[in-house]
């Protein structure tokens, strides 16, 4: 029997099963196999992916959530620029006050550390331990031989009190005979392995410019595979459906450890409109693609723009080079109908929105109203 090549991969899979079974009267178990084959090949349009991502990122509807809940829900907030996490939480929640996050930082329930892609994030201390365990089988700087040899020395130095990078480098020069780039590398790698993290004051709204580091409570250790399974489950809940390449782009991990972990997860499968396989956890939301998406302002380096290899679900490709610079800098942007439509800046206390294209009058009014709310938050 010929296969209908134009019917798409889902029909091919089901037709093959029917041919092999030889009878339209199949057992309940085989009917379940047929059902799963059909579901596995459902094609999700760009707008469906967009709305799914926005819903999971709290960008379709603001929620009344504490900072810790938001940070855990979206698996951390990029924190290279101190105000970015604050704007990121504000745009996703109701009634957020900057002091609420600053209190969690002072308590140590939220920490600033190199996490996914070895970039600075705010994460909860609980997730810090989980993510570090998940990443422990990838060759991140803190897993190198240099880091392992010198971690105890870096920890001992920081346990005596906050230290600067200059203090750390001088320590390795004095105590270990290292010089120049070797001393700087030893300090940087070893402090990360020793859980010597950025002082919470560097993550305040008006963060102190000088880098100071403190020894935080050592996190609970987890089995690496189990930790990755939980980390990827949370990734899908925050960013899914997504491809394996998306997970690589978000995490910075390698394909072998990613695939070995995906093999133990119960996942549903889709295709995007280019035929690429997408994975997702069961029962995660897939809103109607015509769900209204309000105007939202995003901070620099928001992960909704960085958590994918294929970023067009939120960032149209024609704007990518405007938003993401060659040096990796990511602009402050705003969303219209769920997609990046321009950048914004603050000038004299006013939020200035700079659209990429002409916007309808109704959208301009909505943008102005949201900018006014952001201005009130920034004061």
pLDDT digits (tens, 9 = 90+) for 33-47: 444 444 557 999 999
Q: What is the 3-state secondary structure (H, E, C) of 156-218?
A: HHHHCCCEEHHHHHHHHHHHHCCCHHHHHHHHHHHHHHCCEEECHHHHCCCCCCCCEEEECCC
What residues does each domain of the chain span? 5-40, 224-281, 296-378
DSSP code of residue 30? H
Structure tokens given for 246 = 């998306």
DSSP characters for 33-54? Answer: HHHHHHHHTEEEPHHHHHHHHH
β-pairing verdict for 296-298 and 277-281? unpaired
Per residue in 211-226, pLDDT tens? 899 999 999 999 999 9
Share above pLDDT 70 across residues of the chain, in percent, rounded to a whole number: 89
Q: Can you tell me the distance from the alpha carbon of 345 to that of 331, in angstroms, rounded to the nearest whole number?
A: 9
Chain segment 320-375, per-residue pLDDT in tens: 999 999 888 999 999 999 999 999 999 999 999 999 999 999 999 999 999 999 99
Least confident of 7-11, 285-289, 298-302: 7-11
**Right CATH for 224-281 from 1.10.10, 3.10.660, 3.40.50, 1.10.3470:** 1.10.10
Q: Which residue has the tokens 């199949």?
A: 26
């Amino acid at each position: 029997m010929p296969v209908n090549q134009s019917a798409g991969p889902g029909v091919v899979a089901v037709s093959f099963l029917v041919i092999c079974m030889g009878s339209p009267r199949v057992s309940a178990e085989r009917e379940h196999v047929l059902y799963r084959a059909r579901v596995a090949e459902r094609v999700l349009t760009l707008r469906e992916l967009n709305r799914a991502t926005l819903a999971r990122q709290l960008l379709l509807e603001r929620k009344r959530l504490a900072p810790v809940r938001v940070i855990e829900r979206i698996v951390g907030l990029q924190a290279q620029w101190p105000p970015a996490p604050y704007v990121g939480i504000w745009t996703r929640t109701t009634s957020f006050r900057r002091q609420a996050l600053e209190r969690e930082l002072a308590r140590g329930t939220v920490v600033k550390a190199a996490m996914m892609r070895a970039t600075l994030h705010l994460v909860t201390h609980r997730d810090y331990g989980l993510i570090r365990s998940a990443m422990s089988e990838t060759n991140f700087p803190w897993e190198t031989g240099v880091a392992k040899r010198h971690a105890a020395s870096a920890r001992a130095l920081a346990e005596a009190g906050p230290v600067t990078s200059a203090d750390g480098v001088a320590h390795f020069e004095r105590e270990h005979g290292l010089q120049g780039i070797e001393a700087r590398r030893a300090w940087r790698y070893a402090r990360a392995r020793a859980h010597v993290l950025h002082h919470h004051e560097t993550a305040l709204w008006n963060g102190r410019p000088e880098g100071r580091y403190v020894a935080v409570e050592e996190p609970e250790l987890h089995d690496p595979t189990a930790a990755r399974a939980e980390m990827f489950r949370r990734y899908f809940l925050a960013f899914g459906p997504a491809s394996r390449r998306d997970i690589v782009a978000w995490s910075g991990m390698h394909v072998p450890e990613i695939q070995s972990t995906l093999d133990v997860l119960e996942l549903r499968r889709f295709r995007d409109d280019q035929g690429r396989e997408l994975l997702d956890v069961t029962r995660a939301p897939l809103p109607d693609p015509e769900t209204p998406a309000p105007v939202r302002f995003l901070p620099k380096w928001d992960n909704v723009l960085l958590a994918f290899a294929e970023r067009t679900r939120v960032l149209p490709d024609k704007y990518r080079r405007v938003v993401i610079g060659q040096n990796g800098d990511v602009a402050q942007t705003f969303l219209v109908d769920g997609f990046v439509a321009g950048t914004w800046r603050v000038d004299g206390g006013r939020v200035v929105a700079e659209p990429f294209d002409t916007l309808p009058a109704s959208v301009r009014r909505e943008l102005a109203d949201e900018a006014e709310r952001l201005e009130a938050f920034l004061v």
